[in-house]
Amino acid sequence: MTASCAPRQAPPARPESPLFPWCCVGMLLAALVLPLPIFSVRCIDPPVLDSMKLKGVIKHRYYPGDRIDYECYRGYFYVWPYLLSATCEPNGSWSRIEEACLRKSCPDPEVKHGKVVAPNDTFEWESEAHISCNEGYFLRGKPIIVCNLIGENVSWSDTIPHCEKIYCGQPPKIKHGKHTNSYRNIFEYNELITYSCDPSNGPDEYALVGQNKLTCIEPNKWSSDPPLCKVVKCERPFLEHGIMVSGSREKFSYQSVVVFECLQGFYLNGSNLVFCGGNDTWEPEMPTCIKGYKPTHPTKTPLSKYPGYPNPSEEIPSLEDFEDLGKRELVLDPPLSRKNLPVQQCRSANYFPQTHVSVYILIILIC
């Protein structure tokens, strides 16, 4: 399909009439003889403003010299030297008038050792103030307060919060162990204490299981639970069809590491490295030796998630993943059809504005 437009025609020129001069004379006469209606100048629609309203009775029309007065809406206050009145001018327009009132604002909330944010950039009524404390301090009170308009006055919805210094009391005492600065009762924010275990009287030493360093992070809150001091003993590990290649010793205490290998003809399933954990067990779980040869493509055994062991962030996709993909069909969007192409629009060839018609009719009637 080819779209084409007929060339646009210009509106026909007004035909020169032989009666033209007479027509003009007639029109002049008519203008002189007929008294034109004379409207008196008036002002309508007094200006509407956001911050102020008209005072007194509103009239339908005002005459030059008339004055209208405004007053601030509730919750707004007047700002000098803006005008609160407008006058009807001799040409029928109102004298210039601008917003003369502003929203009342709540006082700036001052918070020592903290920060106040105005999401609306102002503390006018209906706006919020967001309060937060500097590091080492905590907020007592509400973090968000709203400026409210009550009657004619504005006030904050709640008392302005304040920031207080963070202190911690004594950290927990533990059995068979102690912590530094234990003679003190009060600790400041970020202060660090270190736990250690007592020497034991028995054949095995106490092991410190857990975090040995704690810091004061919140009011009366330490960064973690205290550690445990306990005797940790793991049994000698035994791997069927395998051997311990390193780490062999008399006693296996907390965090002793052993490394395994499988005998020939067997392959290892699991971690070749284990350590003696705080619960007297080997972590991660003991591996096994399986008869045969390691499969050529990797089995999807979960990677060990124990702390301290490298953990690749992404698993390499297996061949099966790609095979799965291949089975899916490719779905394409329907191809662009010609139907969707925009239709070129043609302006009417007989363009002849209606206003012109009415002018011609008027002139014909007059003449």
Ligand X SMILES: *[C@@H]1O[C@H](CO)[C@@H](O)[C@H](O)[C@H]1NC(C)=O
Distance in Å, CB of 160 to ligand X, minimum: 16
Residue with tokens 């010793």, as numbered in its chain: 249
**Residue 292 binding ligand X, by CB under 6 A:** no
* Per-residue binding letters, 150-179, with ligand X (x by CB under 6 A): xxxx--------------------------
**Residue 224 binding ligand X, by CB under 6 A:** no
| Residue among 2, 40, 91, 340 that touches ligand X (CB under 6 A) | 91
**Residue 120 binding ligand X, by CB under 6 A:** yes
Distance in Å, CB of 280 to ligand X, minimum: 9
| Strand, coil or helix: 257 | strand
- Pairing mode of beta strands 266-269, 273-276: unpaired
Distance in Å, CB of 279 to ligand X, minimum: 4
Distance in Å, CB of 286 to ligand X, minimum: 8
Structure token pair of residue 59: 């009239």
Contact stretch for ligand X (CB under 6 A) within 125-133, 162-170, 234-242, 342-350: 125-133
**Residue 66 binding ligand X, by CB under 6 A:** no
Taking the C-alpha atoms of residue 250 and residue 227, their distance in angstroms, rounded to an integer, is: 26
* Smaller CB separation from ligand X, 148 or 215: 148
| 164-168 long-range contacts, CB within 8 A, separation 24+ | 164/137, 164/138, 164/140, 164/219, 165/113, 165/136, 165/137, 165/189, 166/136, 166/137, 166/138, 166/216, 166/217, 166/218, 166/219, 167/216, 167/219, 167/220, 168/216, 168/219, 168/220, 168/221, 168/222
**Residues 6+ away with beta carbon under 8 Å from 326:** none
Taking the C-alpha atoms of residue 127 and residue 118, their distance in angstroms, rounded to an integer, is: 8
Give yes or no for a contact between 291 and 266, defined as CB atoms under 8 angstroms apart: yes
* Smaller CB separation from ligand X, 215 or 288: 288
* Smaller CB separation from ligand X, 269 or 348: 269
**Residue 270 binding ligand X, by CB under 6 A:** yes
User: How many CB atoms are located within 10 Å of the residue 147 CB?
Assistant: 24
Contact stretch for ligand X (CB under 6 A) within 30-38, 240-248, 251-259, 278-286: 278-286
**Residue 119 binding ligand X, by CB under 6 A:** yes
The residue count for binding ligand X (CB under 6 A) is: 20
**Residue 89 binding ligand X, by CB under 6 A:** yes
* Per-residue binding letters, 133-152, with ligand X (x by CB under 6 A): -----------------xxx
Does 35 sit behind a cis peptide bond, omega within 30 degrees of 0 on the bond before it?
no
* Smaller CB separation from ligand X, 91 or 296: 91
Taking the C-alpha atoms of residue 136 and residue 132, their distance in angstroms, rounded to an integer, is: 11
Q: Which residue's CB atom is positioned nearest to ligand X?
A: 151
Taking the C-alpha atoms of residue 272 and residue 354, their distance in angstroms, rounded to an integer, is: 94
* Smaller CB separation from ligand X, 43 or 214: 43
